[in-house]
Chain A
Amino acid sequence: MSLSKIARFATALAGLTALAVGAQAQTPAAGEPIKIGAIVSATGAGAGLGIPERNGLLLAEKDINAKGGIKGRPIKMIIEDDASNPDTALSKANELIFGQKVVALLGPSLTASTVAVGGVTHANKVPQIAFTGIGPAVERERKCVAHVLPPQRLNAQALLEYAKSIRATKVGVLHDAGYGNVVMAELRPLADKYGVKLVAVEKFEIGATDTTTQAAKVKAAQPEAVFVIATSATPFRNVKQIQITQPVIAAIGSSSYEYVNAMGTAADNIAIPEFVVGEDPLPHQKAFVDLYKQAYNSTPKNYEAAAWDAAHIIASALNKAGADATNEKLCEAMKAPYSGVLANYDFSADDMTGIPIGSFVFSKLVGGKYTRTPFRVSQ
């Protein structure tokens, strides 16, 4: 019997003992680690997503191993930075899959990189869990690529649900030319179904330093509420500067502390359909939020939770299929409902996400702080 086999035998025994004693006595995992690859945008334009995601992954790794790993074997997270560049993401994915022989790939942070990496994972049937919502049509064919963030259609729906809840039927929209464009494409057809009339839809370029005129045009259309779909603080400041007093609803893209801090006093009263309000988490999110606060001394939000969930989803699939399962088997094991911190997923759904609209929580910014509103969409 080789040393590693002895070790595996010992950990298996330890695992059994742990099971026998009960969930309270958790034995840390030991033995040969199971490699899981991850790609995040830790630098570049997507760093606002990638850095929180890396924190979430590292915390999940610690948590999974402390609770006994995968049937006693620890996991090892190999995290790479794609510098927000799809080409880099692709070469890192190749290295992780063929060089490091990882069993699964988590990430990347951005849609373009996800689409690029999906080409490799799909072709080789390597399970992938992306930190993005499902994007271009090609992703629908990739049945081994799960998504832990909602598709843009769901984000659009969440905005409309909130508008409905405050009885706003005339809505103005201020959106950027990237993320905003994608959400907008889903929002237009949905608005009719919700009986919402889009009275003004104004666009601005990504990184615009001023959107006052667009905001003024929205104001002139006299909407009952304003949607701002962007990944910057600028439009929010402009909306307040020209004294738009109607309720402002922001898409999840601008829900991070980074953007909210840059909004200054303009952040007040903005409503955001999102998932994790660290200041006031839902009961099932509390353990994660407390653990995160303890580890990083800061409050987590959606992207930290998404990465944490992704790591646990793959761990649960590994537990089901076994660490030595083939790629296909692991992929199949992943395709099941999963109750995560961020949302209740169902990866057997057609979009490989299956997040119900009821998983959204709606926060409001009061004095620059997030407060959770009682509003939830009933299933």
Chain B
Amino acid sequence: MTLSLILQAIFAGVTNGIVYALVGMGLSAIFKGSRVINAMQGEFAVIGAMTTVLLLTKSGWPYPAAIAGGALAGALVGAFIEVAFVRYMALKNASEDSFLLLTIGLALTLSASVLFFIGRDGHLLPPIGGEGVVLVLDAVIQLHALWLVAIGIGATLALRAFFHRTTVGLSMMAASIDADGAATTGINVGRMRTYTFVLGGLLGALGGILVTPLISVDYTLGLNLTLKGFAAAVLGGLTNPLGAAVGGVTLGLVESLAIIGISSSYKDVVAFSVLIVIMILMPNGILGRAGRRGG
């Protein structure tokens, strides 16, 4: 095992981990704000990436505008799902499993719609920062991957600041911790729940857009991302979006180091065994109870 191989594995792990983290943070933001386990979080990534691809290739928008359009599409779909389905079901006191079933249904519907309207083909986006690479001790790092990591970290920090510093963020936290209490202080709890879906959609779409220059997006990508994002979110502590960031990077690193350390055949066995051990030792997630404040 050479140093460059280890470096390559670490970098692949961090890159994948940030993508898992973005999906996981969205999932956890939605869970925190609405107690809905969003099984269609990965579909937000597909919506964001596909919209960007269509705006860029079919409508000829400049790349930055297409990215903004893709992220906005994710946010809008998030808002739509809250307003059209979740709000109504919440009024009827729907249980957590009903919400889970709703989002599973939506995930299948969205995936099928992408297949029907856009087709089976995978689509790529141009890498941010060009096709260039950086060589570190023979390990190849794409410029785009560096951008992905930077933007991912930026989004995580921005999310933290949003929840801690802004009135809307604090209100969202209040509404999620004690809905009745928040309502008595004049916070519109329903609207805050819409915002959490907007935020979830935005983060998911961002993850999808960032990963599409590395792997092509097609209608099947959503489920894979949901599963990894969910593992990331649980690992970090489901009610804490920042925990999902830590969880995502941990998951990515464990996966890729398992490949070089043991064998690619046992990658998932090793990765998920490690996750089980973490969950036994730290049942509240890596950030634990301390993280609850942080979210």
Give A residues with C-beta under 8 Å from B. Answer: 47-48, 202-205, 207-210, 212-214, 216-217, 220, 233-234, 237, 241-243, 258-259, 261-262, 264
Q: How far is the CA of A220 from the CA of B7 in the complex (A)?
A: 12
Contact between B5 and A264 (Cβ–Cβ < 8 Å)? no
For the complex of A and B, the 3 pairs showing the least CB-CB separation, nearest first, are: A262-B122, A212-B12, A216-B8
Contact between A233 and B13 (Cβ–Cβ < 8 Å)? no
Describe B's contact surface by its main secondary structure.
helix
Taking a contact as CB atoms closer than 8 A, the residue among A203, A210, A220 that contacts B12 in the complex is A210
Given A202-B259, A216-B5, A262-B216: A207 in contact with B12 (beta carbons within 8 A): no
Q: How far is the CA of A204 from the CA of B4 in the complex (A)?
A: 21
Q: How far is the CA of A379 from the CA of B1 in the complex (A)?
A: 42
Q: How far is the CA of A216 from the CA of B3 in the complex (A)?
A: 12
Contact between B121 and A213 (Cβ–Cβ < 8 Å)? no
Q: Report 14 cross-chain contacts, Cβ distance below 8 Å, ordered by A residue.
A: A48-B120, A203-B264, A209-B19, A210-B16, A213-B8, A213-B13, A216-B12, A216-B139, A217-B5, A217-B259, A237-B214, A258-B120, A258-B121, A262-B123
Given A207-B224, A209-B221: A262 in contact with B8 (beta carbons within 8 A): no
The minimal Cβ–Cβ distance linking B274 to chain A, given in whole angstroms, is 16
Q: Is B27 an interface residue (CB 8 A)?
A: no
Q: How far is the CA of A47 from the CA of B216 in the complex (A)?
A: 18
Residue of A nearest to B16 (CB): A210
Q: How far is the CA of A220 from the CA of B265 in the complex (A)?
A: 17
Q: How far is the CA of A202 from the CA of B256 in the complex (A)?
A: 12
Complex contacts, A217 vs chain B, CB 8 Å: 5, 259-260, 264
Q: How far is the CA of A202 from the CA of B16 in the complex (A)?
A: 18
Taking a contact as CB atoms closer than 8 A, the residue among B216, B221, B260 that contacts A213 in the complex is B260
Q: How far is the CA of A264 from the CA of B122 in the complex (A)?
A: 10
Given A217-B5, A241-B140: A210 in contact with B260 (beta carbons within 8 A): no
Q: A242-B140, A259-B122 are in contact. List 15 more A-B contacts (CB 8 A).
A: A203-B267, A204-B267, A205-B268, A209-B211, A210-B214, A212-B12, A213-B8, A213-B9, A213-B12, A213-B255, A217-B259, A242-B8, A243-B133, A243-B140, A262-B123
Complex contacts, B216 vs chain A, CB 8 Å: 233-234, 237, 262, 264
Complex contacts, A203 vs chain B, CB 8 Å: 264-265, 267
Q: How far is the CA of A132 from the CA of B8 in the complex (A)?
A: 38
Contact between B120 and A47 (Cβ–Cβ < 8 Å)? yes
Q: How far is the CA of A217 from the CA of B268 in the complex (A)?
A: 17
Contact between B259 and A214 (Cβ–Cβ < 8 Å)? yes
Q: Is B168 an interface residue (CB 8 A)?
A: no
The minimal Cβ–Cβ distance linking B266 to chain A, given in whole angstroms, is 9
Write the B1-42 contact mask toward A (1 if CB under 8 angstroms, else 0). Answer: 110110011001101100100000000000000000000000
Contact between A220 and B211 (Cβ–Cβ < 8 Å)? no
Q: Which of B4, B139, B140, B218 has the most CB of A within 10 A?
A: B140
Complex contacts, A243 vs chain B, CB 8 Å: 133, 140
Q: Is B225 an interface residue (CB 8 A)?
A: yes
Taking a contact as CB atoms closer than 8 A, the residue among B122, B142, B218, B256 that contacts A241 in the complex is B142
Q: Is B124 an interface residue (CB 8 A)?
A: yes
Given A209-B225, A210-B12, A210-B16: A202 in contact with B264 (beta carbons within 8 A): yes
Complex contacts, A216 vs chain B, CB 8 Å: 5, 8-9, 12, 139, 260
Given A242-B140, A258-B122: A207 in contact with B220 (beta carbons within 8 A): yes
Taking a contact as CB atoms closer than 8 A, the residue among A204, A205, A209, A233 that contacts B16 in the complex is A209
Q: How far is the CA of A303 from the CA of B9 in the complex (A)?
A: 37
Q: Is B215 an interface residue (CB 8 A)?
A: yes
